[in-house]
Structure formats: C-alpha cells, structure tokens
Amino acid sequence: RVMLGASRKTVASNGEGIVMTFVSVQVIKRTFFLSQKYAYPADELMPLSCKGRVRGQEPNRGDIDDSLGKFSLTLIDTLDTLVVLNKLDEFEDAVRKAVKDVRLDNDVVVSVFETNIRVLGGLLGGHIMADLLRQRGQRMEWYRDELLHMAIELGHRLIPAFNTTSGLPYPKVNLRHGILKPQSRTGTESDTCTACAGTMILEFAALSRLSGQPVFEEHARKALDVLWERRQKGSDLVGTVINIHNGEWVRRDSGVGAGIDSYYEYLMKAYILLGDSVFLERFNVHYSAIMKYISQPPLLLNVHMHNPTVSVRSWMDSLLAFFPGLQVLRGDLKPAIETHEMLYQVTKQHKFLPEAFTTEFRVHWGQHLLRPEFAESTYYLYKATGDPYYLRVGQSIVEKLNTYARVPCGFAAVQDVRTGTHEDRMDSFFLAEMFKYLYLLFSDKSHVPIDIDDYIFTTEAHLLPVSLSTTKAPCPGTVPVPPEDDLFSHSCPSTETLFPNNPTFAKTIRDGYKYLTGVGQAFRYMLRREFELPLPDKGIEPVEFLKSMGISLSPLNEILSGDTNGVLRVKLVAEVSQTAEEEVVPHVVQLISPPFLGRMVLTAGPAKFGADLTKQEHGVKGSIVKASPYTACGPVDNAVEIKGRIALALRGDCMFAVKARWLQQAGAIGVIFIDHHEGSNSDETPLFQMVGDGDSNEDITLPLVFLFSREGALLTAALEEHHNVDVVLLPKERQLGREKPVSVNIKLRLMEHGEVEEGMVTSPSLELVMEKEEEGEKLGGKQSQQQDCSQTSQDDRTSTCSADSP
C-alpha cells in the first residue's frame, strides 16, 4: 500500500516547533512506479483494478475519455515532476521510454484543451528539464531535443482545430486526420468553452519561441483577441460557452470556475512568461469586474454577464479553488486568504472539496477527483505569507488522501464524499500537479534541483522558464491599449499599507471566516448594512439552513410583480442575541454514574431560552436517552422512555426551539443537543449560545445545553456501552455573580424586490433595527479560559486533557 507522509519536517514559527508531515519522495516515486507497472503504456491507471485504462477497451465515459489519446498520458504528464522531486535517474529513464515508445499520430479524437495542457505542456516541461540537465553536464548527454521535436509534431497536429472563421479552435481534433475529413469523426461541433479556447497561449508561445515557428503563438493570440473582443463591454465579463464560428455567446453565465477558470489564469501568466503588457491590462480589466460582480467574500458566485448583479446559481464548483493562487500572483492577498479559508472550512466539513457545493456549503455534486487546485492555492499562500498555518492545511490534505483515497495500487478518486466510495480512476493530473504542489509546500529550496522562482507553472503545473520573455517573439504581438493609469495597473496592493505593523495579518483576515460551515458563531460577518439574500424557489435547504442558524423566515405579505430568474426573495427577521462583545458562560455535561463517577466532564454551550442553569443550585440530574427520531423535529416515538429523563437530540433539520418543544411535550427534564458537523469540538471552536426561533420562547421551561460533535460522540459511546448513564447539567463555574449588562437585539428585515416609498420602488435592502434590553444576569467567564476535562478511553483508563478554547 502507498502512503503519503513517510517523512517529517520541523517548522519553527513564533518560537514554537510545529511538526509537519510532508510528502515523501519515496511515496511519490512508488506511486509513479505503480502507474507504470500496472498501466504503461496505457494513458492512465485504474487504481482499483490495478490495470491501465485503454480507450476503447473500457466502457465509454463520454467527454472524459477525450483526454486519452493512446500517447502514455501519465508518463508524459509526470516528466517534470520527477525532476522537481530530484529523482533524476527515474526522469532520464522516463524520457528514454517516451522517446522510444510514444506515438502521436494515433487515429483517435482528443480534446484540444486537455491535449495541450497535459501532453504538449508535459513534453515542453520535460524538454526544458532535460536540456537544463544536459547543459549542466550532469546527465542526459545523449539527449538531442527529442521531446521538443515531439512537441512540435503534436503542435502541428493540433493546429487544424483553429481552422474556423472566428479563429477560435474546435474543441476536438483527430490526431491523425485533423478536422472535417470523413475519417476524422469530428469537426461538426459548433461550441467550445472559454477556458478551452483561452488556455493555449503559454504552451503555444513557448513552442513558438523554442522552435522558431511563429504559427503556434499566432493562433493562440488570435483566440485570445476574439475572446477579449467578445467580452460584454458593460460588465467586462465573458460567458462560459461561445460559438466558434460567429463568436456569439451560447452560455452567458460568468464566473471563475469550470469553463472559464484558466482563461483568466493564462492572461496573468502570459504577462509573467512573455512580458507583453497587453495581457496584464486585459487581466486587470477582467479582475476588476470579477471583484465587483462575482466576488461576494468569501464566495465566488456565477452571474449573468449582461446583468451581473444577478447570481445565476446557488452553488460553486471545485475548480474555482485555483483562484486564490491567482490572486496571490496578482498580489491581492486579502481576498485570496478569505476565499481559501472558506474552501478549507468546506474540506473540514466534507473531508475533500466536493465537485460542487452550495452557498450553504452542502454537497451539490459529491465527486472528488483528487483535483489539485486547493493544494495549489495553499502552496501559493504559504509562499506569499510564510504563515505555518498553510503547512497545517497542507498536512490535512495529506492526511485525508492517506485516509480516504489511498488504495493498494495508488490513490483513487472519491465517487461521493458523503459515503466515501471510490471510483476506479486516478487522473494524470494527480501525479503532475497534486504531488508537485504538496512536495514544494513542505520542501526547502535545497531539496529541489532547480530554482522554482525561475519558472511559471502552467495550469497543469508544468514548468516554463520566465526567461522566455527575453526571447524575441517570432510574430508581432498584439498592440496594447494604453492604460488610464499605467503605474496603478502595474502595481500590487501592499500588505504593509493594508495591515501596518501586523505580522499576523493573514490570521486577522482568516478569523472572520473561521466558522462558515455552521459551527460556532457562523455568518456573524454577514451582519452588514445591506445585502441581498437569494434563495432558490425550489427546495427547502437554504431555508432550513438559515433556521439552523437561529434565523426565522416568513413570506412577504406584499408580493410585488413575479420573481426574476428563479430567485425568490423573502422577508427575513433574525434575532441575534449574542453580540461580538458578549461572553459565553461555559456549561458542562458531567457523567456521574459508575464507572465515570464525575471523572468525565464534557464542555457544553448554553441556550438563551429555556431554564437558566446558572440559577439552579445543584443543576439538573437525570438519565440520558436518545430521542427517536434523533433530530426530534416532530413527535417522538419513544416518549415513554424520554419521560423523566434528559433527552439527546441531533442538531439540524429544524430549529433548537422546535426540538425543545417536542421533547418537553414528551416529558423530558432536559435536552442535550449534539452538533451534526463531524469533527467539531470545544478545543478548536468557541462556544456559542443557542437562540430561539424568533417567536416567544417562554413556553420552553426545561434546561438546554449544546455539545460539539467530538464531545457528543464520547457521550453517545458511553451510553451505548453502559446503557444506563446518569449526568448532571450545570455551569462550569458556579461562582458567576455578575451585574446585568445591556445586550443588543438586531432585527434584520429583507424585503422582496424592494419596497414602495413615497411612490417609488427602492432596491432590496437589509434593514437593521437595534433594540436594547436588560438581561437577567451578566454573562461571565472568559472565552479563552482554560478548559479541563477528563475523558475515559476505550480501555477505561482516564486521561486528562487541558486546552485553551479559541
């Protein structure tokens, strides 16, 4: 079996030693070895079957198989990765194998985009590394530019795809027969994606400058010119799919994820690689539009290119995870940190980034294809900030790959992150990109035989030297339009100016987005003066999600004319009773029956409604029993068992107050709510107070506490093992005699399509109404106070833990 993280590295930060796991070279070498042992000369490894995927011999997967051209894809895609890992013997052997065995004239239809970034990019990266080693006199003395000659051949086999009236390429080409011939079996397509047409310039320009043949760069520049001219002039955004013959947009939704992503990436990187300022100026125009319309920190939501104030869907795809890395290249660190932190919180909730997830961070498409974009952005952020936090993020990626993706013959894609089932698939980009970024994240410069700063990464993480900018372009470049403010457009935001005297600025930014996935004080950052709340008009997930956050919603009484683009806007009233300054009184669930006898103490959060445990001298004691159904959002089936006992109920599906009423009706004397977000715990997450449902909660008279997932698992495990468990619910520190503070209730009111004021319709807005009210007792204690607990291990030994609450 293959396992990442066989080696260890100590990283010092702020005087503390942080032991980080990094990707072992031997493990990557072994994974590559397995792919060659079981798959070569096939394009990719099937890690569950331990055999190669040969196109035509396995069930057809549709467009996915268009990346397979019977040209030993994984071998070529991994060439420069072997050099980065300093496995030079293996690299030389792989180059010999590619030169000897790989043919590029196969009668097969392939994706122009995938073949360009994976195969042409792989051949160029391999040639550049081989040429460098040959020049150093270390090895490869036999090499005579064979990989470059193969790249030139492949370039000419891709050129027929550009034979369109617009200059935009066909999405597919037959490697032997080209386009439109009877034997080609392609050429009837009329559309291509923006990224497919706009992700050619790095490889094609490098090929032109290394070969002296201008035709490649000319075609790539022409395609970019068309996309630039076809942008929506009012918003400066581009659509997702375009007609290759007339340049008309077929899909007008605009974002930074699938279908568009690498178009923006290649504008920025083309400027870095080639030094042509026209690419930077175009990128800056697009980037301003992205930050104005698509970026809704920390989210990046698709909008309509002609009406960019309207979000067209309520989910995001995993490919947008590259964007924080691109923002780092531009020097815009603050939004990069924000979006990356959001993505990290999603991975903590679902183990991996789902192929798509909703704005409520629920799974939309459950696949995880071992995509490298999140690791890529993590690497860039660590390079830019030096913050060891990103090493810990990288460590979590490694650990999850080991735990959930590792199989005997390599690593397998995850078919559904909710079930953990595997898919018999290991795409070549896993070796080409994921391993490369993770290795570089944890490696010192001395571990890498080349200076990475001398190269730019393509979208497939192949290495092209920035020295190509000094090579005269064999074709005339696009004449740049003079920018309005040249100095500003060529400058990056300064973190010193934005965050003066704040070396921990990255943490300062992250802290506002730490609990996005519904744990702790989630979404507090959203309490700004105005915002729109788009909710799909089908399905109740967004509504239920808001309810779980203590927000109640009701339809507007005054419905204005129809909804627009499937977006339903509702009146929203939220009672937010915990202010930023308010401190939470820690409570505990203490197990008092044998064999625990008070030694197991679980930290719990209180509620803003129900019985006040701080006013009860001895707390509330009782036996615990699970509610059935566990979510307790309706009448419970085991009311006889619950009567006179403390009920356990799972968070989610409805509000805390709803659960409490049903359990109180069943005769419970208290309720312990357990978080449904896997892995949450009181060591890493600040306690928060449960709130009611916006209505009067005076009818709820039983005490309520909240346990995070890890503490809840200990409690339910104790119940399953011992069947009869008695607990006591009480404040952690009883000596809290405090003055009455003044808290603030914030009511939010969002009107559908605006309201009529003095005969005019105003735009939708969020109205904040702040009301002061006296609380019964001032909450005391410190959020950061020491938390002491005793936990009984599986073999009934007692271990004591002590940790600072965040």
DSSP code for 409: T
Task: Judge contact between 409 and 45, C-beta under 8 A.
Answer: yes
Record the tokens describing residue 162, joined without a space: 């550009």
Count CB-CB contacts under 10 A for residue 86: 17
Tokens 């603030």 belong to residue: 744
Of 80, 90, 253, 261, which is the active-site residue? 261
- CA 775 → CA 609, 706, 741, 770, distances in Å? 12, 21, 6, 15
Q: How far apart are CA 401 and CA 658, in angstroms?
A: 39
Residue 485, phi then psi, degrees to nearest 5? -135, 90
Residue 466 has φ and ψ, to the nearest 5°, of: -65, -10
| 261 part of the active site | yes
- Contacts of 199-202 with CB under 8 Å at 24 or more apart are 199/113, 199/116, 199/117, 199/262, 199/263, 199/265, 199/266, 199/459, 200/116, 200/169, 200/266, 201/266, 201/270, 201/274, 201/279, 202/121, 202/266, 202/269, 202/270, 202/273, 202/456, 202/458, 202/459, 202/464
Q: Which SS3 state, helix, strand or coil, does residue 716 take?
A: helix
Catalytic residue among 317, 373, 460, 575: 373
Whether 114 sits among the annotated catalytic residues: the reply is yes
| Distances from the Cα of 718 to the Cα of 601, 791, 792, angstroms | 12, 11, 9
Gap between the Cα atoms of 642 and 655, Å rounded? 20
Q: Which residue's entry shows tokens 């964007």? A: 323
Which residues of 234-331 form beta strands (DSSP E)? 241-243, 249-251, 253-254, 295-296, 299-300, 303-304, 307-311, 315-317
459 is in an annotated binding site: yes
CA-nearest of 545, 544, 539, 547 to 568 is 539
Please say if 376 is a catalytic residue.
no
The residue annotated as part of the active site, out of 66, 80, 218, 355, is 355
Query: How far apart (Å, rounded) are the C-alpha atoms in residues 386 and 332?
Result: 16
| Residue 558 is a catalytic residue | no
CA dihedral 666, 667, 673, 676 (to 10 degrees): -20
Which two three-digit tokens encode residue 66? 């268009």
- Which of 43, 66, 77, 114 is catalytic? The answer is 114
CB 32 within 8 A of CB 93: no
For the annotated binding site for Ca(2+), the residues are: 459
The residues that are catalytic are 114, 261, 355, 373
For the annotated binding site, the residues are: 459
